Amino acid sequence: MKNEKVVIDSPVLIKLFTKEKDSEKALKILDYYLMEKLDIYISEISIFEMLYILSKYYGYEFDKLKTILSVIINYGFNIIGFSQEILEKAIEIMILEKMSVYTAFNIALALKIGGSIVTTDKKLKEKIGNKYRVLILDEIIET
């Protein structure tokens, strides 16, 4: 694994800022990033989704969310916003694969950068792993 481009989705992001199953594996991705083995991309939509989930389900308040946002920005990840090209591809994937716009956007972003999406969703890989480059968190750590 050398300078592999990956898009990390919101469940992986959440694991970076919580203590739950596989949080250590998510943190290992940061090690790979710092060792320049991975080039990490995060969509703005995943950041919004992560902040919402941390607030609603983990009870994180504004100051903690603001700190998390600063960490993400200051780490130097490639944070990608909306573009017509990625949005159109995301809509196509969303309709074709019958999935959420969040997931479809991340897949479209992975296609755009020539990389993979890293997720914790094993069902997603089973469903579309033969069409798109989907890596489960465990797979990126083992490679």
pLDDT single digits (tens) 73-128? 999 999 999 999 999 999 999 999 999 999 999 999 999 999 999 999 999 999 99
Indicate which CATH number applies to the domain containing 45.
Answer: 3.40.50.1010
In a 3-state reduction of DSSP, which class is residue 135? strand
User: How many structural domains compose the chain?
Assistant: 1
For residue 16, the enclosing domain spans 4-82+116-142
Residue 69 maps to a domain? yes
Residue 126 maps to a domain? yes
Query: What does the pLDDT read at residue 1?
Result: 47
Residue 56 maps to a domain? yes
Residue 37 maps to a domain? yes
Residue 90 maps to a domain? no
> pTM of the full predicted structure?
0.93
